[in-house]
Amino acid sequence: MDIKQRDRGSIAILDLSGRMDLSSGTMLKEHIKKLFEKNVTSIHLNLTGVEFINSSGLGSLVSIMKETRLAKGRLTLSNLANYVQEIFEITQLSHIFEIYATEEEALASYQSVPAN
C-alpha cells in the first residue's frame, strides 16, 4: 500500500492506495503514530485508491480509530469503492466509522464537528 500525506490546516489527509492487509495495516498504524507524536490528531483517510481490504486491514483501521479517540482526535474516511463499502457494511463497521462520500464532505464536517 502507498501512503501520501497532504495537510489542510490542522487536518492530515492521507491518500491510501493499493491493498490494505496485515503488513500494510501495520505500516499505516506506524505512519499515524508519528502524526500523534506531532500532536496531529485530526486525520482523514481518502481511500480512493484502495483496491482491496481484508479483515487485517479493517482491524488496523479499528485500532487507529480507538487510538484517535484516546488522543481526543477525529478520524474520518471517504471515497470508499463499492466493494470496500460493502465490506464495512457486512462487518457493521460502517456504524462506528465516520464515512463520507467525498473528501470535501469529510473536511467540511470538521468545521461543525471539531476534534474533542
Q: Are 44 and 17 in contact (CB under 8 A)?
A: no
> Counting contacts by CB under 8 A, is residue 97 touching another protein?
no
From the number of C-beta atoms within 10 Å of its C-beta (0-12, 13-18, 19+), residue 48 rates as middle
Which amino acid is residue 8, in one-letter code? R
Rule CB under 8 A: is residue 40 a binding residue for another protein? no
Residue 66 in contact with another protein, rule: CB under 8 A: yes
Residue 90 makes contact with another protein by CB under 8 A: yes
Is 17 a binder of another protein (CB under 8 A)? no
**Is 27 an interacting residue with respect to another protein (CB under 8 A)?**
no
Q: Is residue 94 a contact residue for another protein (CB under 8 A)? A: no
> Can you read off the three cell numbers belonging to residue 17?
492506495
DSSP 61-82: HHHHHHHHHHTT-EEEEE---H
Closest to another protein by CB, 85 or 109: 85
Pairing mode, if any, of strands 98-100 and 2-8?
unpaired
Instruction: Please report whether residue 92 would count as binding another protein according to CB under 8 A.
Output: yes
Stretch that binds another protein, among 7-15, 30-38, 80-88, 105-113 (CB under 8 A): 80-88
Q: Taking Cα atoms as reference points, which of 38, 32, 47, 44 lies closest to residue 8? A: 44
52 makes contact with another protein (CB under 8 A) = yes
Using CB under 8 A, list all residues that contact another protein.
19, 21-22, 52, 54-56, 58-60, 62-63, 66, 81-83, 86-87, 90-93, 95-96
